[in-house]
Structure 1
């Protein structure tokens, strides 16, 4: 099952892409991330995020497993996180021009309806957070 969120950001696709592909500053656009650390650049880059969701805190570990600058698309593997996020591959793609970007964030996963809602909420949080960050 495809789980997907899409949003239009009033910022150049190059600006959004350059920020997204660096994996830097997740805490600047994800309210549940209290701290993030990135190691490396390009394919194989890893990011560790300290996450606080309600009374639950945990570390999320991700690896950049696909990167296509010409198509402005990338895939992040979630290596370590609580269910239902662990093991997911999250695809990001950006279309647009000098003034506007369309960000799509998606994953393929067979999940319970409750977990689908949770994943949709997280993908929506990513989209909304990046929109707010780039439009401020």
Structure 2
């Protein structure tokens, strides 16, 4: 399955990319993330994001940086552990420069949900992507 969000932001592509490419401090742009722990640097590094759930409990999601290209301002991230009802997921993030110091930001998730979780996951990915885009602006 796939979930995509594409938004135009009122911020420079270079500024947005500098935040994303570090693969760290997710809590600065995704409000439900309270802490990011980074293990390693660059491609192959992993981060553990502690997120606040709607019921007040917390959960941890472990992600791995699979691909990073500064020229294309593109990165790919695998979700490798966490409470989400999925077998696998790869998120591609693309940052594109537009005129007037604006940015086109695209999040695209390709995921294999557990049976019955398709729509829940699709809506969940889209919601997180929209929160991230707003937080980066």
TM-score by length of 2: 0.85
Aligned-CA RMSD value: 1.8
- Give the conservation status (yes or no) of the 8 Å contact 1:85–1:119: no
Matched residues, number: 131
Say yes or no: does 1:127 pair with 2:133.
Answer: yes
- Give the conservation status (yes or no) of the 8 Å contact 1:33–1:52: yes
Question: After the TM superposition, which residues 11-50 of structure 1 pair with which residues of structure 2 at under 5 Å, given as runs?
Answer: 11-50=11-50
Distance 1:48 1:41 in 2: 13
SS in 2 for 1:88: strand
Structure whose residues are more often helix by fraction: 1
Distance 2:89 2:112 in 1: 10
SS in 1 for 2:68: strand
User: Which shows bigger deviation, 93-102 or 12-21?
Assistant: 93-102
- Structure 1: unaligned runs, 5 residues or longer: 132-136
- For residue 134 of structure 1, what is the aligned residue in structure 2? none
Flag as ranges the 4+ runs of structure 1 deviating above 6 A: none
Structure whose residues are more often strand by fraction: 2
Q: CA deviation at 1:110?
A: 4.9
Say yes or no: does 1:106 pair with 2:108.
Answer: yes
